[in-house]
Amino acid sequence: MQIHTNKDLSTLNTLQLRSQAEHFVELHSPHDLLAVLGDSQLSKVSWHILGGGSNLVLPSVVKGLVLKIANQGRELIHEDQEHWFVKAQAGEVWNEFVQWTLQQGYWGLENLSLIPGTVGAAPIQNIGAYGVEVKDTLWEVTCFDLQTGNLKTFSNKECRFSYRDSFFKQEGAGRYLVWDVTFRLPKKNTLHLEYGDIRKELDRQHTEANPRTISRAVIHIRQTKLPDPQVIGNAGSFFKNPIVSKELRDSLLLKHPDLVSFPYQETQFKLAAGWLIDRAGWKGKKLGPVGMYEKQALVLVNHGGASSDDVWKLANQVSLDVKNQFGVEIEPEPIRW
Q: Rounded to whole angstroms, how far apart are CA atoms 122 and 117?
A: 8
Classify residue 104 as exposed, middle or buried by CB count within 10 Å of its CB (0-12, 13-18, 19+).
middle
Tell me what pLDDT residue 266 has.
Answer: 85
Return the number of other C-beta atoms located less than 10 Å from residue 1's C-beta.
Answer: 14
**CA dihedral over 280, 283, 285, 286, signed as positive or negative:** positive
Q: Rounded to whole angstroms, how far apart are CA atoms 123 and 115?
A: 13
CA distances from 28 to 65, 71, 72, 73, 223 (A): 16, 4, 8, 11, 31
Digits of tens for pLDDT over the chain (337 positions)?
A: 789 999 999 999 999 999 999 999 999 999 999 999 999 888 789 999 999 999 999 999 999 999 999 999 999 999 999 999 999 999 999 999 999 999 999 999 999 999 999 999 999 999 999 999 999 999 999 999 999 999 999 999 999 999 999 999 999 998 999 999 999 999 997 899 988 789 999 999 999 999 999 999 999 999 998 999 989 999 999 999 999 999 999 999 999 999 999 998 889 999 999 999 999 999 999 999 999 999 999 999 999 999 999 999 999 999 999 999 999 999 999 999 9
Q: Establish whether 333 is a catalytic residue.
A: yes
In words, the CATH class of domain 74-186 is alpha beta
In words, the CATH class of domain 3-69 is alpha beta
Contact 185, 108 (CB under 8 A): yes
Contacts of 38 (CB under 8 A, 6+ apart): none
Tell me what pLDDT residue 310 has.
Answer: 97
Tell me what pLDDT residue 41 has.
Answer: 87
Contacts of 223 (CB under 8 A, 6+ apart): 114
Spot the catalytic one: 113, 215, 237, 307: 237
DSSP 332: B
Spot the catalytic one: 74, 164, 184, 279: 164
Q: Is the pTM of this model over 0.85?
A: yes
Tell me what pLDDT residue 40 has.
Answer: 85
**Fold of the CATH domain 233-336:** 3.90.78
What does the buried/exposed string (b/e) look like for 315-335 if buried means 16 or more CB atoms within 10 Å of the residue's CB?
beebbebbeeebebebebbbb
Contact 30, 22 (CB under 8 A): no
DSSP 241: P
Contact 243, 270 (CB under 8 A): yes
Tell me what pLDDT residue 44 has.
Answer: 85
Boundaries of every domain in the chain: 3-69, 74-186, 233-336
Pick the closest to residue 317 from 275, 274, 281 (CA basis).
281
Contacts of 162 (CB under 8 A, 6+ apart): 126
Q: Are strands 61-69 and 47-50 parallel, antiparallel or unpaired?
A: parallel
Q: Rounded to whole angstroms, how far apart are CA atoms 253 and 245?
A: 12
Three-class HEC string of 87-103: EEECCCEHHHHHHHHHH
Number of H helices, E strands in the chain: 8, 20
Q: In this structure, what is the dihedral angle of CA atoms 259, 262, 268, 272, given to the nearest 10 degrees?
A: -50
Tell me the H-state helices in the chain. Answer: 30-37, 94-104, 121-125, 198-204, 211-225, 246-255, 273-279, 308-326
